[in-house]
Structure 1
Amino acid sequence: MRSIKKIHKAVSAPIGNLVTYRALPTPALEIGELDPFLFLNHHGPQQYPARNSGLPFGPHPHRGFETVTFILAGDIMHKDTGGYESTIKAGGIQWMTAGRGLIHAEVSSDEFMANGGDLEILQLWVNLPARYKMTEPNYIGLQKEDIPKITLDEGKVILDVVSGRWEDVPASIQSLTDIQLYTVYFKVGGKLTTQIPATHTIFLYVVRGELNINGQTVTKLNLVEFNQDAEDLIIEATTDSIILFGHAQPFNEPVVAYGPFVMNSEKEIQEAYQDYQEGKFGIWQD
């Protein structure tokens, strides 16, 4: 089995009244160490009252990477300067390729702000290699019913195929860099056994519950860092659980991150800020 290098506890990082845990980066795991996975914020779970102000992510720029947003509860209304706009509800995902740069906003729908309700959202940043840093921006929003699901272990494991494929089942999203991503839901006792190429970086974050992962107990709000020494992965749930799980071939390129931009050099970061200030990411219109 692939050995576990370290288990990293997500750190509390609230944003105003939004409960937030940052699983990556943390003081013990720097950005770039789980190449090509860069960043993960876990918002919630929490309950919003009626007549709330919703999510606080108004218009802001990005360049050089992709954002993948998993809506477990609540909703997100997305809008960007590429002309994309959608409202994705619980169980859906948003995949945005920032590429050469755009401005976007991620806020709650009018319905959610009026009525309130449960909210839990994960946002993962996935790097782009140098050859795709300046690719054309793109956005895909998928509702729950648009995502292929696989039932395993006599119904005790349900796997959402978010990107790439699972065995012979393709996802609705095929990434530029063959990123494989899944959301996996376990009933107590559910078991998932798979093989991941030893050269690949594994991304595994426990959203809820408690599981035995390759012989070690891992509880909610923990990110598992693996060594690249074997292929076998065995995950068994000791309670009802949810994990965010994926893997990819590392890019092995320099990672320079500053604010909303992730590039390969300081010079490229400076260029990103200049291009943004000159309106090259588009002009935001309410």
Structure 2
Amino acid sequence: MIEMVIDARRKDLGGFEVGRVLPFHARRTVGPFIFLDQMGPAEFAPGSDAINVRPHPHIGLSTLTYLFEGEIMHRDSLGYTQPIRPGEVNWMTAGKGIVHSERTDPLKKSQGGPMHGMQAWIALPDEAEDLDPSFDHHAEADLPAYENNGLFARLVAGEAYGASAGVAVQSPLFYVHWEMKAGVKTAPPPGRGAGGYSERALFVARGQVEVGDRTFHPGQLIVLEPDAQPTVRASTDASVMALGGEPVGQRLIWWNFVASSQARIDAAKADWKAGRMKLPTEDDLEFIPLPDVPSTPEPAPAEVKPEPTHPV
């Protein structure tokens, strides 16, 4: 039932740790999901820097931020300023280009507190790569939820279980948050053999779960076989993200840029270096410079490219 298991690589981004799951050298994507980070879990001391990601650019993708705990302030070049809190979605489609920052609000920084969540990048299909950029915030009311007998499920984006989330996705996908009490069983959306999605995976964010006769722990991504129809059982209270969808084709990743061609990457690099991409309206006093690392013309493991800016 299981194609492979990917262990998150812990990375210290200046006092804040993330678990980087995708891309992985042996598995770059799951459906259109081309990047997946687990933020934390962390507990920030009062007055600590917390989340402090300076303005930086994107092309060719949508970012999806989803929190279990904490708060992050988003600001972008379209003029949006939007805090995100647990159970909500910040959905930003970069298209042909957008710039944003992600920081902890000064008041929250002075108070300290927990931070735990997920950041996903979804590669855009060919016909959407040059869309005008956009940003949408979705409250819990936009996200279908179900709760019964120790299982809470929220459809964060896409379509699953006969429901559709309010997030305007550009290709077929699903992204589901499960909160499971110990002993509870559930199942992911059906796979290819049952007329469902071609690619699916489960990420354990908290606790332990069993799939078949194997037990999985926090920080592990369980990539399922296309035709598998597994039952997932919580060994302990657990938080799990189920994700997948249909691939959009080969994609290059360089820093924060995702594209179907090297020409698009090179154009974005030149635009950012020359200052042709507008900074966020309310956060324009600093930015992250273009990394001084040469790109390569063919897809390669992410480890040989400059690290994405995002811890979130």
TM-score, normalization: structure 1? 0.91
- For the residues of structure 1 that align with 2:83 and 2:280, how far apart are their CA atoms? 18
Q: Is the 8 A contact 1:14 1:21 kept in 2?
A: no
Q: CA RMSD in A?
A: 1.8
Match of 1:206 in 2: 204
For residues 132-182 of structure 1, the C-alpha deviation after alignment (integer angstroms, 9 at most, x for no partner) is 11111111223445532112xx43111111112333332121311132111
Q: 2:234 aligns with which of 234, 237, 243?
A: 237
Q: Any gaps of 5 or more consecutive residues in structure 2?
A: 284-312
1:225 counterpart residue number: 223
Identity value in percent: 25
Q: Deviations over 1:51-70 (max 9, x none)?
A: 22220211010000111111
Is contact 2:34-2:122 (8 Å) kept?
yes
Residue in structure 1 matched with residue 26 of structure 2 by the alignment: 29
The one-letter code of the counterpart of 1:123 is Q
Q: Distance in 2 between matches of 1:164 and 1:35?
A: 12
What residue is the counterpart of 2:302 in the other structure? Answer: none
Measured at CA, do residues 21 and 194 of structure 1 come closer, stay the same or move farther in structure 2, by a change above 3 Å?
closer
Q: Partner residue of 2:49?
A: 53
Alignment pair present for 1:99 and 2:98: no
| Aligned ranges 1:39-50 → 2 under 5 Å | 39-50=35-46
CA 1:266–1:137 in 2, change beyond 3 Å: closer, same or farther? same
SS of equivalent to 2:269: helix
* CA offsets 1:9-59 (integer angstroms, 9 cap, x no match): 111111010021111123x43434x34211111121111111222202110
- Alpha carbons 1:100, 1:137 under 8 Å: kept: yes
Task: State the secondary structure of the residue aligned to 1:50.
Answer: coil
- Distance, in Å, in 1 between the alignment partners of 2:85 and 2:100 is 18
How far did 1:194 drift? Answer: 4.5
Separation in 2, partners of 1:155, 1:137: 41
- Counterpart secondary structure, 1:159: strand
Contact 2:60-2:124 at 8 Å conserved across structures: yes
What is the DSSP-based 3-state SS (H/G/I as helix, E as strand, rest coil) of the residue aligned with 1:125?
strand
Q: 1:56 to 1:128 in 2, by over 3 A?
A: same
User: Is the 2:78–2:280 contact (alpha carbons within 8 Å) kept by the matching residues of 1?
Assistant: no
Q: Is 1:169–2:167 an aligned residue pair?
A: no
1:123-272 correspondence to structure 2 within 5 Å? 123-144=119-140, 146-151=142-147, 154-198=148-192, 200-228=198-226, 230-251=227-248, 253-272=249-268
Aligned to 2:4: 6
Distance 1:109 1:157 in 2: 33
- Quote the offset at 1:74 in angstroms: 0.9
Q: Secondary structure at the match of 1:188?
A: coil
Give how far 1:119 is off.
0.9
Residues in 1 aligned to 2:142 and 2:106: alpha-carbon distance in whole angstroms: 23
Calculate the TM-score normalised by the size of structure 2.
0.83
Q: Distance in 2 between matches of 1:139 and 1:48?
A: 28
The structural deviation recorded for 1:232 is: 1.6
Find out whether 1:83 has 2:83 as its counterpart.
no
